[in-house]
Structure 1
Amino acid sequence: MNIYFVRHGQTDENNNKYYYGKMDVCLNEKGLDQAEKAAIFLNHIRFDEVYISERKRTAETANIILGNNSKKFNVDKRINEINFGKFEGKSYENIKKLYPEEYDRWCSDWKNESPPGGESYVEFYSRIHGFMDDILKLNRENILIVTHGGVIRSVYSYILDENLDFFWKFASKNGDVTLVKYEYHNLYIDSITHVGI
């Protein structure tokens, strides 16, 4: 099985380096271009299943990738980006100023602490874990999953013996295409391609 992960194209919030996950925003001009480049990169593949998160930015990216070959998407809330709670839509500098104690607690125990009104990384990872367990049960040749940077980096942790510290060992740029293969009960990262730069 070939599982293609695509991080959605850039948004203004990405460009401004805001913390955001639950916010439902659209792609900006560069993000649309990144999705077009991903579409060109993937245009030779026939996808048996397509999964997206609940956010508009993944639907926009998936629609561009599939073009005239659009099919019904499986919308799965488990692959939504992490919910940053009251940190949503704010820069690092603003968060430090508005929520200094909460931010320090979150940074000191990033796995278990959560932003005010948000979710912890452990809670977030639990969603991804369940999603991946279900994907591996499918009998499909090619699956497309259009989702978010935090989700994709969590998938890498899932592959690498569920070591959550690997979350910080990979980048995930807007428009990136990652091919994960599942063969003979072995799951591995085959390639990570920066197509949207």
Structure 2
Amino acid sequence: MEIYLIRHTKPAIAKGTCYGQTDLHLADSFPEEANIIKTKLTGQITSIQVFSSPLLRCSTLAKALFPTVSITEDPRLMELDFGNWEMLAWDDIPKIEITPWMEDFVQVPCPGGESYRQLYDRCVAFITELKKQQIEKAIIITHAGPIRAIHAYFNNIALKDSFSLKVDYGEVIKLGN
């Protein structure tokens, strides 16, 4: 199986804001960023299936990159659910809430949200389904959290260590073949 993981482009949100499953629009730089991604993919991808997080920042990019391809949106590809922290400035999250999560983000869920283990489990369920369907080539347009989780799964990396993978906006990562 050959998979191309693509992170959405820059969202229209103030730096330092906690967002995960909040549905955000993309920054004004979107057309230029999408064109850069297109150049990275040119000539490399044929006979593909395209999957996307249903959040606007991913589905908009998927439609721009693959206007003539049927795109399957799957909620398992959504970013981490930060629950009560969504749209708060990271600096405004009470220390009494964030400290336990920071000490064990793999197992401890965000208040009203989910843990990184829960995100990982849903991403692995998605990949397992692709394998059962014997999909040979897939493009997955998603977020940094799912990209790290899928990368950790394919490369047998401990979840606590998977954040060492830096994933920039618009980054394309190839896994497999």
User: Which of the numbers 139, 143, 146 marks the counterpart of 1:144?
Assistant: 139
Q: Distance in 2 between matches of 1:136 and 1:28?
A: 34
2:21 is the alignment partner of 1:22: yes
- Structure ranking higher on relative contact order (CA contacts 8 Å, 6+ apart): 2
1:18-97 residue pairs with structure 2 within 5 A?
18-44=17-43, 45-67=45-67, 70-95=68-93
Q: For each residue in 1:67-109, what CA deviation from the matched residue of structure 2 results, as whole angstroms up to 9, or x when unmatched?
A: 4xx22211111110010011111222121xxx22111111122
User: What percentage of residue pairs aligned between the two structures are identical?
Assistant: 27
CA contact (8 A) 1:112 1:121 kept: yes
| Unaligned residue ranges in structure 1 (runs of 5+) | 183-197
Select which of 95, 102, 106 maps to 1:100. Answer: 95
Q: Normalised by the size of structure 2, how large is the TM-score?
A: 0.91
The structural deviation recorded for 1:139 is 3.1
Distance 1:121 1:140 in 2: 26
**What secondary structure sits across from 1:71 in the alignment?**
coil
Contact 1:10–1:31 under 8 Å retained in 2: yes
The number of aligned residues is: 176
TM-score (norm 1): 0.83
Deviates more, 1:145-154 or 1:70-79: 70-79
Contact 2:10-2:27 within 8 A present in 1 as well: yes
Alignment correspondent of 1:160:
155
Structure 1 residue identity aligned to 2:18:
Y
Q: 1:39–1:64: 8 Å Cα contact kept in structure 2?
A: no
Structure 2 residue aligned with 1:173, among 156, 168, 172? 168
Partners of 1:34 and 1:47 in 2: how far apart? 24
State the Cα RMSD in Å: 1.6
Alignment deviations for residues 133-190 of structure 1 (CA, whole Å, 9 cap, x no partner): 12223334431110001110111111122521232211010000011114xxxxxxxx
Check conservation: 2:20, 2:86, Cα contact below 8 A. yes
Distance 1:33 1:2 in 2: 27
The one-letter code of the counterpart of 1:152 is I
